[in-house]
Structure 1
Amino acid sequence: MTGTTDLQAETTAPALTGERADLLEQLGKSRFFLRFTANELTDGQAGHRSTVSGLTVGGLIKHVASVEKVWVDFILGGPSAMPDFSAMTEEDFAARENEFRLLEDETLEGVLAAYAEVAARTDALVATVDLDAAHPLPKAPWFDQDAKWSARRVFLHVIAETSQHAGHADIVREAIDGAKSMG
């Protein structure tokens, strides 16, 4: 008869090491700081513009989740998973602004739950994808023409984006109630 510990050993995946572990650790730290800025906020506070920018804590979390999801879609499906940014209209860009704010039907709890789902999907991909697999970038004025990014490069970009927006969220949060998450 198989004991409980033997069964657990058979079904537990080995711990990641090396580059994959490093990517997951840094992404986890960046996500922690972003989520921590929302600690104990109400929905109203999470949706409050506390600086001259249009950024809110809840909106930043929502935006980072959206960006991370799109980049994972890119890793899995190539440039067709992303819009042709060079063809976007002013209306398209205005609609994207809703990524940076909590809308009336959204809650901080819902945004955090959606982010957790996106994060779990990304983490599973970091553990399994060929990090050297690359796709050409979609058309956009901010990308070099004919550039290709590997899965590794995309994960590094997601880490940088998450870290940058965690800093933004920290400033927004401090202006709400003086709380600081990173200092």
Structure 2
Amino acid sequence: MTREHDDLLGLLAEVRSRLLIPARDVSDADASRRTTVSELTLGGLIRHLATGERMWLQVLSSADGSLPEGMLDTAQYTMSSTLAHWLAEYSSAAAATDSYVRSLPSLDVSVQLPTTPWSPPEPQFWTARRIVLHLIHETAQHAGHADIIRESLDGANSTAQLA
């Protein structure tokens, strides 16, 4: 594993941990509660990211452009089980992603992306590096959403919860 692997996986671990702060001490009822005009909920965000990590790992490991099952499922933002279930799924998906990325000799490996309704007509290729960067971006963006949702629930925020 290279220093780049360490750096990117370290940053991904950091944003994952920031995402989970707003979910501390939250009931299933609150984790599934909408607090803004958006459909987003804490549990739904965690489900989405757990599902997303599994799908991106499938894209990365298959490298053939096949569409992962559930990639077009719009229900992945709803909390269909308990918060504990989705936290465990997220932890498992994160461990699987990290393990696979660590096994790559280089992050320069190129994989074909699946064709989706929003894809350009020609095949698209990303490096493993870009996929990890995408996971960092997606997780950090949703960590901000989670913070807003939690603050709307009970006034708690990541700054106060870190103390």
Could you state the TM-score of these two structures normalised by the residue count of structure 1?
0.79
Q: Write the distance in 2 (CA, Å) between the matches of 1:54 and 1:142.
A: 21
Q: Distance in 2 between matches of 1:123 and 1:34?
A: 17
Return 5+ residue gaps in structure 2 as ranges: none
Q: Residue 118 of structure 2 corresponds to which residue in structure 1?
A: 142
Contact residue 66 and residue 113 of structure 2 kept, 8 A? no
The match for 1:49 is 34
Q: TM-score, normalised on structure 2?
A: 0.88
Q: Distance in 2 between matches of 1:22 and 1:142?
A: 31
| Structure 1 residue 162 corresponds to structure 2 residue 103 | no
Q: Which residue of 1 aligns with 2:23?
A: 38
Whether contact under 8 Å (1:170, 1:182) holds in the other structure is: no
The residue that corresponds to 1:113 in the other structure is: 88
Alignment equivalent of 2:68, drawn from 72, 78, 82: 82
Q: Distance in 2 between matches of 1:136 and 1:112?
A: 29
Task: List aligned pairs for 1:49-68, cutoff 5 A.
Answer: 49-68=34-53
CA RMSD of aligned residues (A): 2.0
Q: Report the count of equivalent residues.
A: 157
1:3-18 to 2 correspondence within 5 Å? 18=3
Q: CA deviation at 1:138?
A: 1.6
Displacement of 1:166: 0.8
Distance in 2 of aligned mates of 1:149 and 1:46:
34
CA 135–17 in structure 1, closer or farther in 2 if over 3 Å, else same: closer
Match for 1:173 among 140, 150, 155?
150
User: Does structure 2 retain, via aligned residues, the 8 Å contact 1:137–1:149?
Assistant: yes
Q: Which amino acid aligns with 1:60?
A: L
Gaps of 5+ in 1: 1-15, 86-92
Cα deviation code 1:34-61 (max 9, x no counterpart):
1111001000000100100000001000
Inter-partner Cα distance in structure 1 for 2:118 and 2:21: 30
CA distance in 1, matches of 2:96, 2:113: 21
Q: Deviations over 1:5-57 (max 9, x none)?
A: xxxxxxxxxxx651011111110111001111100100000010010000000
Task: Indicate the structure (1 or 2) with the bigger Cα radius of gyration.
Answer: 1
Deviation, 1:125, is 1.3
SS at 1:37's partner residue? Answer: helix
